[in-house]
Structure formats: C-alpha cells, structure tokens
Amino acid sequence: MDRQLSDISSGRLYIVSTPIGNVEDITLRAIRILGEVDLIAAEDTRHTARLLAYHHINTALISCHDYNERERAAGLIEKMKQGASVALVSDAGTPSVSDPGYVLVREAIASGISAIPIPGVSAAITALSVSGLPTDAFVFIGFLSKQKTKRSGQIESLKREEKTVIIYESPHRVVALIEEILNIAGDRQAAFAREMTKTYEEFIRGRLSEILENLKARAAIKGECVLIVGGCDKESSGVSPELITQEIQTRLRSGERVSEISKDISKQYALPKKLIYEEALTLQNRNGAN
C-alpha cells in the first residue's frame, strides 16, 4: 500500500498539466510550480521553452519522451532522492494520459518519491464537456492500435459499449477511423473536435455518417482530433433480427440496391452497416436462386 503525505520534504515529482492550444489555459499554481522546481522534464524541450518564455519562467529543461523515458527515469529519480524537485510536462494536456510520463511516475512512486498532480487541461474532458453526449459515465480509449487486427477488435468491443467513448486520432487517419466504427459498431450519435482552444477550433455534432460526410468533402483535415462516440442504443440493440430481415426483404422486392438498403437501415437502427450489407447480400443471392 502506498500512502502519500503532503508535507514530505524530500524531492518531489510534480505532474503538471499544460495548455492544449491557448497559452492562457494554465493554472496559477502550475505557473508557480514550473518557476519553483529545480528541473522540468519535457516531452519536447523546444515546445515547452516557448510556453515558459511566454510566462517568463527560466527553469532548466531536460527531455523526457517516449524514446528515452525509461533511461531518463533513473537519472531523474536519483536527483529527486537527493532532494531535487522535478516537474513533468507533455507538449499539451496532462502528462501520462496518452502521452509520455507513465514510466517516470510509476518508478518514482516505487522509489518512495511523492508524485503530486497539478491539474489542468485535458483534451479528452474538454471535448466531452461540449459534445452534447452523456457525461455521467464514459470510457477513454486514447489512440487505437495502428495494427489492423487489434484495431478492429477494439472497435468490435464498442458494439456492446453503453457508455460514451472518447478516442484520439491524427487528422490523416480520422476519416478511416470513422468509416471503420460506422461499419462495425453502427451509426452512433457522435461529436468531432479539432484544434480545440485554438484560432480554428471546430466542433461537429451528429450521426457518425453525417460527420463522415462532412470530413470526406474536405481537401485536408488539420489539427489533432478527438472523436466522442455515443454508447449503443439499448432500444436499437433490442431490435429483433426478424424485423430487420423482413424490412430488408421488403426493400429488395421493391428493387432497391443492397448498398442503399444497408445505408438506410444501419442509420435507422444504429446498427453496423457492414452487418446489414452482408445480410442483404445473402438474402438477395437466396432470392435469386429461388
């Protein structure tokens, strides 16, 4: 069991949240801590140097990122054991939340060093707060796996997730992400956010299909993206397979194309488009054989 007291006098590790865009989105306490510590461990020292310069802070910087965190942790912990105070920051938001920092925090705690949170901005909570989707219970996934099979498995689990889901994605992959969620988990209510707190801040709310249509019409998408996906609809998930089959059959007999049927029914019942498409194709082939 780990018990932490606030009056420990030895070296400390401060986990400091920094702005996700607007440099003014930082707490007074964070500014004070960054100015008082002996050393700041930063994901990108050049990026953090600009923030420090804006707030007239001259504390020394050292890099601590995904590629050197394990080796850097040992040296930083040794400094803190000798009484030094260290602040950990990422490029934006809260360190170790889909950012470097977890290893250093874990090793510091294991070494008996006090880890103190200096709360502030988090892109996930910022986007969730204005999504218009339920906030009483939510799941934060961060970045999905880049490995196709694992990524599909993660999205597959969303089919049964009733809580609101928060996902991070890069601008050049977000369209593919939405397409995959739409095909596997259905046409959920969702919200898309990019460039939050910056000049070109943007929010799009609606069905996944509507957000996808909006984004696909653009020549390019810029800025880090947050996608908020509503949980599965209990009423929609309770729709009987017989009802869906009957509706598909009716529309096939009227001469509608499989692609149109799957698009409309998946949107109507918030069901996976891929699932409806495969069922419609099977029924069409069966009808043709009779």
Is the pLDDT reported for residue 4 higher than 70? no
Asked whether 66 and 104 are in contact (CB, 8 A), the reply is: no
Q: What is the mean pLDDT of residues 48-53?
A: 98
Question: What pLDDT is stored for residue 238 in this prediction?
Answer: 53
- Distance CA(252)–CA(25), nearest Å, equals 55
Kindly state the average pLDDT of the residues 44-63: 97
Q: 56 pLDDT exceeds 90?
A: yes
Which has more confidence, 268 or 17? 17
Q: Give residue 290's pLDDT.
A: 52
Alpha-carbon span 53 to 82, nearest angstrom: 28
For the chain, the farthest-separated pair of C-alpha atoms sits apart, in whole angstroms, at 83
Q: What is the mean pLDDT of the chain?
A: 91
Residue with structure tokens 């046409």? 187
Q: Are 133 and 230 in contact (CB under 8 A)?
A: yes
Give the residue, 270 or 20, on which the prediction is more confident: 20
User: Is 8's pLDDT higher than 50?
Assistant: no
CATH class of 12-121: alpha beta
Q: In what order do the strands lie in the sheet with 61-63?
A: 61-63, 39-42, 86-89, 12-16, 114-118
Query: Nearest-5° angle of CA 97, CA 157, CA 128?
Result: 45
pLDDT (tens digit per residue) in 128-162: 999 999 999 999 999 999 998 999 899 988 888 99
pTM of the model: 0.79
Fold of the domain built from segment(s) 124-231: 3.30.950
* Sheet with 225-229, edge to edge strand ranges: 138-143, 164-169, 225-229, 189-194, 202-207
Q: Using the predicted structure, report yes or no on whether residue 81 has a pLDDT greater than 90.
A: yes
pLDDT of residue 42: 97
